[in-house]
Structure 1
Amino acid sequence: MSQLQPYVDCKVSVVMTDGRLIVGTLRGLDQTTNIIVQGCQERIFSEDEPVEVVGLGLYMIRGDNIAVIGLVDEKADAALDLDSLRGEPLSPLKA
């Protein structure tokens, strides 16, 4: 079984190969690491502007578009002041 199975019903952060960051609750996955994330949002970083948060709702992500998946510490995430954070956007992965 997948090593991601314990993450089901937990809040996760997904870095995609195109550099996007998606945060939401992992609801399911299959043998090729395609995942379903519920209540998700994309966090868009900029060096000059606050973090832009775009609600996506229920989202399916193909396994070959995933670079990294990690658990989110919900207390630490809730304490983040996204209006004061700045950061350079991630670059897409290169093959």
Structure 2
Amino acid sequence: MECLPGTASLIEELDKRLLVLLRDGRTLIGTLRSIDQFANLVLHKTIERIHVGQEYGDIPRGVFVVRGENVVLLGEIDPEKDLKIDLKKVSIDAILEAQREEQIAKQKEEKKMNKALLERGLQPHAEKVVEEFQ
């Protein structure tokens, strides 16, 4: 098989089920229907998968257009291995609530860290310090 340069190599992935990790941290799973020279993707029957600990939830998104510059990672999903995941599937509401709680816990931990840094005379990220004292 001849190796295609750049985004042309994605032609081999057309009509396959792919996992796409976006720059903002979201995970999409869908069937690749179209690509262009900028690696913009059109995914069909797309779901957004949210992981929290050992649980996950899938939010249906339908047809999804992804701008190429937002793609961090993409790869084909092996259907056999996809069925054997060791995670517990939960409802959309449950996973969104777990995600919100996880984000709140991370923010509290970050505030604690910034406070400890300030007490030691170190400067945490300026934007975060401004947020804390508003």
TM-score > 0.5, shorter chain as reference: yes
Give the structure with higher Rg (CA).
2
- Return the match for 1:67 from 69, 72, 79: 72
Runs of 4+ in 1 over 3 A off after TM superposition: none
- Superposition pairs of residues 21-32 of structure 1, within 5 angstroms: 21-32=27-38
- Superposition pairs of residues 7-86 of structure 1, within 5 angstroms: 7-47=13-53, 50-83=55-88
Root-mean-square deviation over aligned CA pairs = 2.3
Larger RCO: Structure 1 or Structure 2 (Cα < 8 Å, ≥ 6 residues apart)?
1
- CA–CA separation in structure 2 for the residues paired with 1:36 and 1:82: 28
Structure with the larger helix share: 2
**What TM-score does the superposition give when structure 2 sets the normalisation length?**
0.58
- Unaligned regions of 5+ residues in structure 1, if any? 90-95
- CA–CA separation in structure 1 for the residues paired with 2:36 and 2:80: 29
The number of equivalent residue pairs is 86
C-alpha deviation, 1:72, in angstroms: 0.6
